[in-house]
């Protein structure tokens, strides 16, 4: 159970995930629903894959892009904000592009935003000219300022960015926001998003040249199956033939239905996979349009 690196041909896939933090549990849950199971090492830094030759390395999220670049890990679950920041850093320092986003994963959502003191009347990015902006994301901020043709001073901090204006270190900040509560507690307000972020599966730019290629493809197929139906439900109902058109118009997010005739009745039985939320309101609308016996069933897995 050693995580020792073998830079040559490998027949096991190694995935880096955050050891503890916002992305840890959802990453493990997604991998488990893709059929992976593990035996955890005593130091809790390495999980040996039991159901498939896919091992996990538990690390700090900031280390994940570098581990992929160095070939220590093959894939990683990391915030797009971290991945793009480190890609920007490599580009600025002339290092080759070694990792990229393979899939958006639909959890860990947040925005990288410019936040200004609550008293400011925000008129647009030009207002930042000549100001000091505190951030832990200098590369993304620099690229954004360039695209806006705005010159400002970037103050790089490693943490507690939101108190920089109160401490007089900066005029405004550029930081991650989800609910905005932390900003409000520091008398700041978000005025402009420079990145929409979420957790992503990161992988190398170059394809794998050994057994890892097939393992990665298998994992992606399974993860796609899970992600595609994450909010989906199987809807079953009956409806008279002449009501079907109206009922289906209320289901623009549904796959083409399976339709069966019912013995001795003019009604048809339908089943369809719906990708949007199936609320009570929607069911009541469907009933008013003629649907009967509506049933909403959870979908666990899908293999296209």
Cβ closest to ligand ATP, residue 109 vs residue 225 = 109
Cβ closest to ligand ATP, residue 62 vs residue 101 = 62
178 binds, among ligand ATP, Zn ion, none (CB under 5 to 8 A by kind): ligand ATP
Q: How far is the CB of 59 from ligand ATP (least distance, A)?
A: 7
Say how far apart CA 110 and CA 230 lie, in whole Å: 19
Q: b/e per residue, 91-107, with b = 16+ CB within 10 A?
A: eeeeeeebbeebbebeb
Give, to the nearest 10 degrees, the angle between helix 24-33 and helix 211-228.
Answer: 100
User: 112 forms bridges with which residues in the sheet?
Assistant: 176, 195
Q: How far is the CB of 60 from Zn ion (least distance, A)?
A: 5
Stretch that binds Zn ion, among 29-37, 59-67, 93-101, 125-133 (CB under 5 A): 59-67
Cβ closest to ligand ATP, residue 177 vs residue 247 = 177
Q: Is residue 285 a contact point for Zn ion (CB under 5 A)?
A: no
Nearest of 110, 142, 111 to residue 128 by alpha carbon? 142
What residues line the site for ligand ATP (CB under 6 A)? 18, 21-23, 60-62, 79, 81-82, 108, 110, 176, 178, 197
Nearest of 130, 226, 221, 113 to residue 174 by alpha carbon? 113
Q: Is residue 62 a contact point for Zn ion (CB under 5 A)?
A: yes
Say how far apart CA 165 and CA 152 lie, in whole Å: 15
Site string for Zn ion, 105-144 (x = CB under 5 A): ----------------------------------------
Stretch that binds Zn ion, among 53-61, 106-114, 118-126, 186-194 (CB under 5 A): 53-61
Q: What is the DSSP letter of 135?
A: E
Give, to the nearest 10 degrees, the angle between helix 138-147 and helix 80-92.
Answer: 80
The residue at minimum Cβ distance from ligand ATP is: 79
State the residues that interact with Zn ion by CB under 5 A.
Answer: 61-62
């Amino acid at each position: 159970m050693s995580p020792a690196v073998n830079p040559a041909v490998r027949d096991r896939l190694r995935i880096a995930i955050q050891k503890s933090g916002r992305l840890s549990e959802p990453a493990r849950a997604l991998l488990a629903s893709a059929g992976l199971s593990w035996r955890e090492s005593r130091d809790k830094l390495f999980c040996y894959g039991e159901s498939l030759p896919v091992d996990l390395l538990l690390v700090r999220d900031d280390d994940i892009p570098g581990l992929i670049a160095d070939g220590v890990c093959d894939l990683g679950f990391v915030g797009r904000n971290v991945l793009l920041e480190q890609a920007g850093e490599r580009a600025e320092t002339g290092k080759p592009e070694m990792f990229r986003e393979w899939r958006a994963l639909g959890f860990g959502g947040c925005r990288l935003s410019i936040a200004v003191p609550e008293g400011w009347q925000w008129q647009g990015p030009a207002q930042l000219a000549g100001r000091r902006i505190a951030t832990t994301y200098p590369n993304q901020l620099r690229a954004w300022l360039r695209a806006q043709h705005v010159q400002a001073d970037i103050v790089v901090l490693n943490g507690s960015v939101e108190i920089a204006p109160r401490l007089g270190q900066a005029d405004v900040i550029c930081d991650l926001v989800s609910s905005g509560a932390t900003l409000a507690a520091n008398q700041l307000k978000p005025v402009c998003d420079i990145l929409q972020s979420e957790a992503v599966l990161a992988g190398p730019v170059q394809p794998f040249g050994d057994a890892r290629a097939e393992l990665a493809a298998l994992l992606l197929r399974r993860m796609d199956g899970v992600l595609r139906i994450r909010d989906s439900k199987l809807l079953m109902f009956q409806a008279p033939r002449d009501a079907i058109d109206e009922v289906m118009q209320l289901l623009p997010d549904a796959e083409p239905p399976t339709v069966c005739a019912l013995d001795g009745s003019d009604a048809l039985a339908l089943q369809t996979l719906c990708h949007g939320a199936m609320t009570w309101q929607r069911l009541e609308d469907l009933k008013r349009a003629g649907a009967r016996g509506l049933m909403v069933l959870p979908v666990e897995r899908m293999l296209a």
